[in-house]
């Protein structure tokens, strides 16, 4: 006969003792019930007849803490681990593994590898409710009469677990009139699954713009009507936020050593080693070998993009609030122009060619 062991548990609270009956020896036979003592409300008498006061009551407080989120918004994430996929071919699995998920200022961007460059990244919106993020992005493209492609991705992200549940769908349609006979056809592909993500971004392999590097340039221009000619550097960096690539122009040190034409114009603070963080300062667009950076007025208060107009330590630095920079990288050189303005310090404007 197999011996059955039973465990008797007694729960002691402040004024309650609960006995569990039916537990006896190791042979499993029922034992005597353990009775709960009566709960006296009057003081207890000691052996010498004196009244013994009741001990003070004790309150046990049990608190629980919610798990700390493994991800936070805004942020840029890449797939770390595929948890599940339905109806996915080998190519689709690789695209999911290479996916990038970006959440900034209510704007959601989705991108991956081996996708149609004119269609991706998909752009949409997201909303946050507690530790749950809901998102949706879509895009469309046409290549000639009667040919169109659309794509969309939607789902939710659990910030505590850093896990994304999604549906990614693509539709292609082509129509024509060969030999005078109208014909058309289409295809639909859909991938549904879950992935775990990690913080970080990467240049998608289908990106064909300038690669990361540093390019010396000469700035020839004016600031508040005063001419200048000075050297600087254009930095092209791996994306640290929602841009396809990050680009910065640095000439001098306008905040600590103001000079005529000193300028620091950033698409992301990744270009400034003293910033201690990475966030987008502007929007980047890439067309072939040309990169355009447009200033974001919402980030002017950070003072990260700025320029100066005098050789004086007491001069007021102008924080960039509008304008853009366009740079073309070819043959190992950077050429382009910058035109940025500010309303701070009474207003200022810097314009220059880069070559």
**Burial code of 247-259, b = ≥16 C-beta within 10 A, e = fewer?**
bbbbbbebeeebb
pLDDT of residue 76: 86
Among 344, 270, 269, CA closest to 307: 344
| 8-state DSSP, 268 | B
Please provide the DSSP assignment of 306-345 as one string: EE--SS-TTSPPEEP-EEEEEEEEETTEEEEEEEEEE-GG
The structure's pTM equals: 0.49
- Name residue 269's beta-bridge partners: none
For the chain, the helix, strand and coil percentages under 3-state DSSP, each to the nearest 5:
5, 50, 45
Q: Is the pLDDT of residue 323 over 80?
A: yes
Per-residue pLDDT band at 4 (split at 50, 70, 90): very low
What is the average per-residue pLDDT within 78-95?
A: 81
Per-residue pLDDT band at 42 (split at 50, 70, 90): very low
Query: What value does the mean pLDDT of the chain take?
Result: 78
Contact 206, 95 (CB under 8 A): no
pLDDT tens column, 46-66: 455 555 555 555 555 554 455
pLDDT of residue 118: 67
pLDDT tens column, 260-318: 999 999 998 877 656 656 778 889 989 889 999 999 988 888 888 999 999 998 899 99
Cα-Cα-Cα-Cα dihedral sign, residues 239, 241, 246, 251: negative
Neighbours of 94 (CB within 10 A): 15
The domain locations on the chain are 1-39, 75-199, 213-354
What CATH class has 75-199? mainly beta
pLDDT tens column, 217-238: 999 999 999 999 999 999 888 8
pLDDT of residue 203: 67
Contact 306, 318 (CB under 8 A): yes
pLDDT tens column, 148-188: 788 999 999 999 999 999 999 888 776 554 455 554 556 67
* H and E: helices and strands count for the chain: 1, 23
């Amino acid at each position: 006969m197999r011996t059955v062991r039973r465990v008797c548990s007694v729960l002691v609270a402040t004024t309650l003792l609960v006995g569990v009956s039916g537990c006896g020896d190791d042979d499993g036979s029922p034992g005597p019930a353990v009775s709960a003592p009566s709960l006296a409300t009057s003081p207890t008498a000691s052996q010498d007849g004196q009244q013994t006061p009741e001990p003070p009551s004790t309150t046990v407080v049990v608190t629980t803490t919610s798990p700390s989120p493994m991800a936070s918004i805004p942020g840029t994430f890449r797939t770390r681990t595929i948890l599940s996929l339905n109806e996915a071919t080998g190519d689709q699995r690789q695209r999911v593994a290479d996916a990038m998920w970006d959440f900034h200022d209510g704007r959601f961007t989705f991108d991956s590898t081996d996708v149609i460059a004119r269609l991706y990244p998909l752009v949409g919106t997201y909303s946050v409710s507690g530790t749950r993020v809901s998102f949706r992005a879509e895009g469309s493209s046409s290549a000639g009469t009667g040919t169109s492609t659309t794509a969309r991705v939607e789902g939710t992200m659990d910030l505590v677990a850093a896990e994304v549940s999604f549906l990614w769908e693509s539709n292609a349609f082509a129509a024509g009139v060969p030999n005078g006979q109208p014909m058309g056809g289409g295809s639909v592909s859909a991938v549904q699954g879950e992935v775990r993500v990690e913080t970080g971004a990467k240049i998608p392999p289908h990106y064909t713009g300038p690669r990361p590097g540093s390019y010396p340039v000469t700035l020839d221009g004016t600031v508040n009507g005063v001419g200048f000619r000075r050297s600087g550097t254009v930095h092209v960096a791996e994306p640290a936020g929602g841009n396809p690539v990050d680009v910065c122009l640095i000439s001098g040190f306008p905040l600590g050593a103001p000079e005529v034409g000193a300028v620091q114009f950033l698409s992301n603070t990744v270009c400034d080693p003293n910033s201690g963080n990475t966030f987008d300062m502007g929007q980047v667009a890439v067309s072939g070998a040309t990169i355009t950076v447009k200033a974001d007025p919402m980030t002017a208060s950070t003072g990260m993009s700025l320029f100066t107009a005098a050789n004086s330590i007491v001069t007021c630095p102008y924080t960039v609030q509008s304008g853009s920079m366009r740079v073309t990288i070819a043959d190992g050189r950077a050429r382009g122009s910058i035109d940025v303005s500010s309303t701070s310090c009474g207003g200022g404007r810097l314009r220059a060619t880069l070559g």
